[in-house]
Chain A
Amino acid sequence: MVYNKDKDKSDFILLINQHSGIIHKICRLYRDRPEDRQDLFQEITYQLWKSYTSFKGESKISTWLYRIAFNTAISAFRKKSPDLSYTSELPDLADEQVNDEQTARYEKLFKALQKLNDADKAIITLYLEDLSYQQIAEVSGINENYVGVKINRIKTKIQSLIK
């Protein structure tokens, strides 16, 4: 079989376009400054591309993508940046079909999620993305029975953070 790098590249671009929303959300969860989020988006895309050719389809493409994206967000070396905290007050949503109240609630949710620790951020994201407990266990490496316990604890944390 002839290896076609151009075909691989165009398939990969399509994949990134399809999943850019979740990558964008992961970047927002794990980095505070807009430029750091942009750097992380690039880093995740680069790491995905590096492992794309060796991805053998043993797992679902989405679980493979989550695994790489979270690993990169948690473990990647960060650029040194000044200790200035900057929080964008601008809504981070597409304009279509969004009203002010929804935007405010979305922002409230995101601020609560940003306060979670790195592990909880990963687990709750996978849950909100509708992955089954088995898939969450596969991506995170924790026991399937423990996934349910963790999710319940995180949901309680979120509720208290939102109040």
Chain B
Amino acid sequence: MSGQRPDSDAGASDPFSASDPAVELDDVSVSLGGQRILEGISVDIGKLRSSAHQTESGGGDGDDGTFVGLIGPNGAGKTTLLRTLNGALTPDSGTVRVGGEDIHAVSSKAASRLVATVPQTTSVTFDFPVRELVRMGRTPHRSRFDGWSEADEEAVEKAMRRTSVESLADRPVTEISGGERQRVLIARALAQETPVLLLDEPTASLDINHQVRTLELVDDLVGDGTTAVAAIHDLNLAAHYCDALILVADGRILSAGDPTTVLSESNLRDAFDAEAVVSRHPVTGSVYVTALPSSSSSADATGRVHVVGGGGTAARALHVLSAAGYALSAGALNEGDTDAEAARRVGADLVTVPPYAPVDDAARSAVESRVEAADVTVVADVEVGDGNLPNLEAAAAADYLVLVEERPFSERNYAGDDGCAVYERLREHGHVVEPSELLSVVGELACEAFGD
């Protein structure tokens, strides 16, 4: 799998990319139907990863490949870039080199021994059995009159094991689920035994469970030395799984490198023409992007909001409200709680109690004063026990109260009848909203509060 780098200097100075099959694009421009789609794309994917690793983990064993996410708005040229990488499209100018080979100069067969492509799964109409479809991945390794070899069989078995589709082997492809089909197509690509794997929106039509399983699988493969390049729509999934990101907009690379560098608020504004808050995800620690509704696109909201949460349930609310421009307070929260971290990051006035300690009287009165000072109080979809019940009792005193509900209260009530009674009181004069409605409802209530 070791690619030969034409640029030996870079290989020598960078111990990690020496084992990487280099994927280098040099000033690549591509037109489709007379229209220029990509303009002057230059990127060295091996280098992206090493810089990412130096900042992320400071090293890694030399066998790791790179998982590169291709992000950008619809029509930015992500798919075109992938199709250029696998040789389906020939650029007007510039070269694409994989492991030192110009992918557009070699035969289609040779190219598909270097680069395997996992297509989108949208249209599958033929009813080949799964195993037969995976076997087709061996096409580039067989000449027309070759029989089926031991090596072919091994590659297919291995690919099916790796993707856990052995149990589906004899089922027709038309009769398995979308998530399973995605894995079968990945198996087919693995059977090609290429150093580079391309994936076009591998998570597009999958539910969240299969999205995660698919990306975990790709991540595993990268651990074995494969270089993967995937167009991914979901910025947060991309940020979480990819070693490096390439942000494409209007046919150019806007930014490439470490996810934290690429996913800056200004880059996202330029690429997507939308406002977004970039923060750290409270649970995973990855870069986390929250898009804001365009009505609140400028952070000019005024007012004070107190947020009651815990266990990560309030992180989103804190980010969204902070980005919209509200002055925030939060609590009471246990030290070390993910919401406490989130509150600190957005600069909220935070009331805390020690880890695992219940909300005591001092903390309760601190919360009461915050609630009184706030124009609006927000209670997140938090789990309620005897320990944090005082927070809810304090919130009940708010003039304007918003309750974010994702689950019924009964599912997150551990405070028995007391909990029910308090929450019932909150519901009596609070506004119950879905997470997505939070910002607009808070905005309205804040206006009313000013009117008072």
Partners in one complex: no
The residues of A with any CB-CB pair to B shorter than 8 Å are none
The residues of B with any CB-CB pair to A shorter than 8 Å are none
